[in-house]
Amino acid sequence: MATLKELAQVEERFVGGHRLCAGCGHGISVRMVLNALENDENVVVGCATGCLEVASTIYPYTAWNCSFIHNAFENAAATISGVEAAYRSLKKQGKLKDDFKFVAFGGDGGTYDIGLQSLSGAMERGHKMVYVCLDNGAYMNTGIQRSSATPIGADTTTSPAGKVIPGKQQPRKDLAALIAAHNIPYVAQTAISNWQDVHKKAKKAFEVDGPAFINILSPCPRGWRYNTPDIVDLVKKAVETRFWPLYEVEDGKWKLNSKPKKYVSVEEFLKPQGRFKHVFAPGNEDLLKRIQEEVDKQWLALLERCGEEPELPPR
Amino acid sequence: MKNKVALTGNEAVAQAMRQINPDVVAAYPITPSTEVVQMFSSFVANGKVDTEFVTVESEHSAMSATMGASAAGARAMTCTSSQGLAYMFEVVYIAASMRLPIVFPVANRALSGPINIHCDHSDAMGIKQAGVIQLFSENAQEAYDNMIQAIRIAEHPDVQLPVSVNYDGFITSHALDVLEILDDETVKNFIGVYKPREALLNVNEPVSMGSFDMYDYYFEHKYQQVAAMEAAKRVIEEVGKEYAKISGRNYGLVDAYKLDDADMAVVVMNSAAGSSKGVCDELRAKGLKVGVLKPRAFRPFPHEAIADALKGVKAVAVLDRAETFSTLGGPMFADVRNSLYDLKNDIKVVNYVYGLGGRDLRLEDVEQIYSDLDDIIKTGKVDNFVRYLGLRE
Ligand SMILES: Cc1ncc(C[n+]2csc(CCOP(=O)(O)OP(=O)(O)O)c2C)c(N)n1
Ligand code: SF4
Ligand SMILES: [Mg+2]
């Protein structure tokens, strides 16, 4: 495991000059993932349309200090799978001598929703590529619309907290489980509050012989409406409250990476965020209860998959 | 060395792909081009090509993966028809704007709905504004020849654009035809080694592709595509001349058939051009001054060559195997009429929409068209300039 000091020596592939909002989770997530590559490793980065792409390649500038390709919103996985196929072909024919790694970044919209088919196809075909979903729980680039990754209750511009309907009504899609069902060598969920966890998982993902998928919680201060500098504390809360558990699935074996010692209510994660403000308004007690129930239900299901005793942390 | 063989259009196209031996093919089955995908898979499975074949889950991904491969620095191809092309629509534009020299055959089939598997050109016409070069083929021979030439056209430094090679679904794709194919070595030498201008797999020059353009660059980038299309007209002719040297067959932007002294002309693409030439010969034998103009390139549109070929005629019928629903006729009609406008010599131009959903174009239909043109010349009157050929009342 690298130390922070060593990581500081790593050559950055995603550099300054991009126009992500100050404090955007995407920049942090991308750097943490790419820093798992060694300096002498070559990488081709693919990217779906979304905040990361439009903020990092405004022509004639680029924030990418490596080969980069953006194609469209829903096809980052297919595009990188083509790059990887070209790599194998050219290598096999002796037309290329350098080695390369391949990674695609997509937002939750470009991954859970419109890009799911393309991702599923690429995972099933077994390309040696890493797909990283930067999950901020909404279509932020088009102005905070709900996606199937948006948590229940969240106020977005297409699931507004109204007088009759208090925000999004459906629980999140369990994407990591869905991708794990493709029986690929590596699937993981991670969060930037724990850089070692991100680093370790990214390293494993780049090293496995086949496709790997990483889901990373990547807060959006605009869409979530929290105090921007508090990003790391907020992500910590997401993990502690079990809203965003850290786990990995290696060759089909599920493993929980951290287990909170005590029961922390999801309120702690929701409260600092403007998108959940209405949840705490009088009359919405049932909604808060439903959100907590959903977190607990998902947690128990995860424990079972990981072969752990299915019980909630002690209160 | 040349070989005379009996092949279907799909077989001829698959053979061309085998000889091209692309680094990557990503494709998805759809009638009537499925056979190309199947035959190519067997070339891969039997080690006849060096290609990595990507068995994508859709046509959107077929084109996307082909683009990734092409951007990586590989020679990459796909293949489709109809709904598959419609499903690719979004990324075909992006492939053109990224200037990726992807060659892809399209066995033309009607677009849904209603769903129909037979030939018309509504699929190809759907992407006429996408920025890809579109070549059309009268028969299996031309489909084969166009495939080989398309590689050189697409990859030419002044062009750098995708090229689609169109041939009629079933009529050409499935019918057995006798044609000449070149030997593998001749094709290999003709197409040469692919040298990409930029490549993702080049460690020395990292490149960002597919950037976000604002109003300060988008317009110029689009104009560069126009300039590339303009250059493509020259390149198509140059490559055609070179190809004649190895094949003995001549290819240009258009095929002008018996037009030198013609009074009447039919303008038509793909297999119907063959039927039209047959009728033309019969009428010529009766002393009628008729001819046929077959555009081989539809994008770029060879308007100069068309105006030049038709400048002496009195009446023209443009045959469109696709609708535009503009109520102003088919897509080629608009372009041909536009091309003739500046001649200012009162050529009467009428449109026949024909063969939608695979309806046969009968020889009698073509005779009727010439007879209509004859009437137009005699009376000087056109009462209905958009006509639907063989439409039941
Ligand atoms: C086919 C298509 N549909 C819709 C859009 C518009 N669009 C661009 S980005 C985006 C949302 C991106 O959301 P997400 O993937 O979550 O990324 P984020 O911006 O939140 O990081 C949408 C809807 C598009 N570009 N292409
Ligand atoms: S809107 Fe949100 S996701 Fe987009 S750049 Fe700003 S902070 Fe990042
Ligand atoms: Mg998002």
Question: Which of B206, B213, B224 has its CA nearest to residue A59?
Answer: B213
Average pLDDT of span B379-390? 95
Residue B393 located in a structural domain: no
For helices A76-92 and B59-72, what crossing angle results, to 10°?
50
Name the residues around ion ligand 3, CB cutoff 5 A: A 107-108, 136, 140
pLDDT at position B1 is 62
Whole-number Å distance between alpha carbons of B264 and B289: 7
CB atoms within 10 A of CB A289: 10
ipTM of the complex: 0.97
pLDDT at position A142 is 98
Please tell me the distance between residue A111's alpha carbon and the centre of ligand 3 in angstroms: 9
Distance linking the first and last C-alpha atoms of chain A: 34
Domain shared by B219 and B91, yes or no: yes
Residue in A closest to B78 by C-alpha = A82
**What letter does residue B214 receive in the DSSP assignment?**
-
Residue A315 located in a structural domain: no
pLDDT in tens, B259-294: 999 999 999 999 999 999 999 999 999 999 999 999
Would you say residue B114 has pLDDT above 70?
yes
- pLDDT tens, chain A, 315 aa long: 788 888 888 899 999 999 999 999 999 999 999 999 999 999 999 999 999 999 999 999 999 999 999 999 999 999 999 999 999 999 999 999 999 999 999 999 999 999 999 999 999 999 999 999 999 999 999 999 999 999 999 999 999 999 999 999 999 999 999 999 999 999 999 999 999 999 999 999 999 999 999 999 999 999 999 999 999 999 999 999 999 999 999 999 999 999 999 999 999 999 999 999 999 999 999 999 999 999 999 999 999 999 999 999 999
- Per the structure, the complete domain to which residue B300 belongs is given by 254-388
Give the CATH number for residue A142. Answer: 3.40.50.970
How far A2 CA sits from the closest chain B CA (Å)?
A: 25
Question: Which of B91, B104, B114, B116 has its CA nearest to residue B153?
Answer: B104
Residue A22 vs residues A19, A27, A231, B96, B276: alpha-carbon distances, Å: 8, 9, 11, 35, 66
Pocket of ligand 2 (CB under 6 A): A 20-21, 24, 26, 51, 55, 136, 140-141, 220-223
Whole-number Å distance between alpha carbons of A89 and B73: 11
Domain shared by B212 and B136, yes or no: yes
The residues pairing with B256 across neighbouring beta strands, listed in sequence order, are B293
Contact status, residue B88 vs residue B38, Cβ threshold 8 Å: no
Q: What are phi and psi of A294, to 5 degrees?
A: -65, -45
Domain shared by B17 and B158, yes or no: yes
> Of the candidates B247, B281, B308, which is a domain's last residue?
B247
* Element housing A138 (H / E): none
Domain shared by B298 and B210, yes or no: no
Whether B208 sits inside 8 A of A60 (CB atoms) is: no
Residue whose token pair is 């897509």: B331
Whole-number Å distance between alpha carbons of A258 and A224: 25
pLDDT at position B2 is 74
Residue B379 located in a structural domain: yes
Instruction: Tell whether pTM > 0.90.
Output: yes
Ligand 1: nearest atom to the Cα of A108? 16
Give the amino acid at A234.
L
Residue in A closest to B62 by C-alpha = A78
A197 C-beta closer than 6 A to ligand 1: no
A27 C-beta closer than 6 A to ligand 1: no
Please report which residue ranges of chain B form alpha helices under DSSP H: 9-20, 34-45, 59-72, 82-97, 122-126, 140-155, 184-191, 218-247, 271-285, 303-310, 331-341, 363-379
Residue A313 located in a structural domain: no
- Per the structure, the complete domain to which residue A10 belongs is given by 4-305
pLDDT in tens, B18-70: 999 999 999 999 999 999 999 999 999 999 999 999 999 999 999 999 999 99
Domain shared by B223 and B260, yes or no: no
A75 C-beta closer than 6 A to ligand 1: no
A50 C-beta closer than 6 A to ligand 1: yes
Whether A92 sits inside 8 A of B200 (CB atoms) is: no
Up-side HSE of residue B380: CA atoms within 13 Å toward CB?
2
> Of the candidates B192, B226, B247, which is a domain's last residue?
B247
In this structure, the residue with its CA closest to atom 3 of ligand 1 is A73
Is B41's Cβ below 8 Å from some Cβ in A? no
What sign results for the dihedral spanned by CA atoms A45, A49, A52, A57? positive
Is B44's Cβ below 8 Å from some Cβ in A? no
A115 C-beta closer than 6 A to ligand 1: no
Give the CATH number for residue B108. Answer: 3.40.50.970
Whole-number Å distance between alpha carbons of B201 and B207: 9
CA dihedral of residues B3, B4, B6, B8 (deg, nearest 10): 70
Q: A75, A93, A128: which to substitute to probe chain B, counting the most B Cβ within 10 Å?
A: A75
Give the CATH number for residue B288. Answer: 3.40.50.920
Domain count, chain B: 2
Whether B57 sits inside 8 A of A72 (CB atoms) is: no
Residue B180 located in a structural domain: yes
